[in-house]
Structures are given as C-alpha cells and as structure tokens.
Amino acid sequence: MTESLAALLESKAPEARAFLSLFSADEIAEFKRAADTAPSKSGPQALAAPNWGKIWSALKKIGGFTKAVGGKYATFKNWVDSRPWYIKYLIKGLSPGLTLYDIWWHFNH
C-alpha cells in the first residue's frame, strides 16, 4: 500500500499535483513518512491501529467523500471505483491493511 502513496507523491501528472495541493505541508510530510515505511522483509508484520482522525482529516478533502461514505456500502464502493487513480492511491496509502468496507463501516457505526 505504501507503493500507491509513493507513486502519488512522485507523480508529475497535473491532476495529481492539483489534488495534492489540497493538503497542508504537515499532511504531505505525514504521507511521505507513511510512504517511506517499508514492510518487513522477514515475514508478517503487525499493523498499527489506524489513526481514524488523520484518515478522516485527509479523506474529507476529497469532493463527495462525506456523502458517499454516509450512504450504503455499494454506493460508496461505486463512488471509489469511479474516482481517478490518484484518489484511489491516496485512499490505499492512508489505510494500509483496511478494506473499503472497513473504512465505510467505521464511518457508519
């Protein structure tokens, strides 16, 4: 998942650069730290508990996220599937080890 975030941060695509401009320097630095965190090569590694505050802070900046996550899961999944690559990469990078259902469930319960 960190590969997705790294690819987004390294992208020169104008739409990706414009999207990243929505985030503060501190948020971008946090994304870079997450992207630089390499998984263990020696076997399974326990994932840290997700920081839902940071996840929410970033995802609510994506136009339509709040409405999509507030609806049914199928609607949320279809909304995510219809997003451009750079938004999907951010969602994956911010939530390693979580599925879309995990994200939807957290914000609905």
Q: What is the pLDDT of residues 18-33, one digit of tens each?
A: 999 999 998 898 888 8
Q: How many domains does the chain have?
A: 1
**Model confidence band, residue 45 (pLDDT cutoffs 50, 70, 90):** very low
**Is the confidence at residue 43, as pLDDT, over 60?**
no
* Calpha distance 57→32 (Å, rounded): 16
Nearest residue to 106 (alpha-carbon basis) of 62, 51, 63, 61: 51
Domain carrying residue 19: 2-36+51-108
User: How buried is 25 (Cβ within 10 angstroms: 0-12 exposed, 13-18 middle, 19+ buried)?
Assistant: exposed
* CA–CA gap between residue 5 and residue 98 (Å, rounded): 15
Neighbours of 68 (CB within 10 A): 21
- Summarised one tens digit per residue, pLDDT across range 63-96 is 999 999 999 999 999 999 999 999 998 888 888 7
42 found inside a domain: no
Residue 30 lies in a domain: yes
Assigned token pair, 99: 């599925």
pTM, two decimals, is 0.71
Is there a domain that residue 17 lies in?
Answer: yes
- Asked if the structure places residue 43 within a domain, the reply is no
